[in-house]
Amino acid sequence: MKRISILLTTAILVAIIAVGDITAQVFKRQKHELSVYAGGGLSSLQYEAGAGKTTNGWGGLFGAGYTYFLNRSWGLGTGVEIAIYQSNSSLSNFSDNYDVQGVTSRDNYTYYYALKSYKETQRALYLNIPLMLHFQRGRKYIMYGALGGKVGIPVNSSGSAPKYTLNTSGYFPTEGRTYDDLPQYGFGTYNYKKGNVDLENFKLHFMLSAEAGMKWQVMNNHDLYTGIYFDYGLNNIFKATNDKTFVKNELSPDNPKMSPLLESRVTGSPYTEKIVPLAVGLKVRFTFLQ
């Protein structure tokens, strides 16, 4: 009887140790991973301007993330990040005209304008919230990949242009005369210096996101991810307007001393109707394992 009690006690202890070891292994695999990261590379606002040329810009991202590992290989990740996108556009020599309706038919005229050496940079700052499915394989050398999506909330958008020259004139058919030297009425030569302007036409974006690279254990409970990332916008983030001109002369007959020139951006309709963000770059992530 005593021997049976000893054997039974031993068996219970072994079972407890075994269950404890299994539980420890399960919880060891199911780690909560906190991280901070940064990345940079091509980070552009993709669009085709009906006038001029566009080129991609550089930008980056930084943020904080959280990943819950279901097992040694799979995990679900989310977080919050700030991303910067920018693009450039240029109009070497651009001209256009449109008819302006005056107070009376005698005041009707055709407005001509020509831009020279115009360049513009557009920038957008977004708050992104990712949701990623994470996969990793290996022990000493761990390869990882992640696939998912991001929702981006516009924080700020702006445009800037260096100095450029604008020539304008007005043809009045009732007089059969063209005016090109009345700057107080919007006709003449204007030399603009560098200026900034807010772009209020950007909206929420949805992106397909992927990432791949290597995971390195740099110290206990700390890992370093190094890899590449790719973000592709799935929707148009630009709110098109009804503006049909690039340069407008809105001189008020009641206030002839006001500035007659109100400039649209290259990103303004009808020159641009769709803008999609795109980013490809290198990424570094430092983790804290809990």
pLDDT of residue 50: 64
In percent, the amount of the chain with pLDDT more than 90 equals: 33
The DSSP secondary structure of 126-147, one letter per residue, reads EEEEEEEEEEEE-SSSEEEEEE
Average pLDDT over residues 12-34: 49
- What is the three-class DSSP state of 203? coil
Q: What's the mean per-residue pLDDT of the chain? A: 78
| Residue whose structure tokens are 């060891």 | 28
Distance CA 211, CA 148 (A): 9
pLDDT bracket for residue 49 (50, 70, 90): low
What lies within 8 Å, CB to CB, of 10 at 6+ separation is none
Residue 84 has pLDDT above 60, yes or no: yes
pLDDT digits (tens, 9 = 90+) for 146-180: 999 999 999 988 877 777 788 888 888 888 889 88
pLDDT of residue 31: 82
Distance CA 142, CA 147 (A): 17
pLDDT digits (tens, 9 = 90+) for 235-251: 988 876 666 566 766 65
Pairing relationship of beta strands 164-172 and 177-179 according to DSSP bridges: antiparallel
Q: Which of 31-35, 66-70, 144-148, 249-253 has maximum average pLDDT? A: 144-148
Secondary structure element (H or E) that encloses residue 227, with its range: strand 222-233
pLDDT digits (tens, 9 = 90+) for 115-129: 887 788 888 999 999
pLDDT of residue 4: 42
* Tokens encoding 121: 């940079």
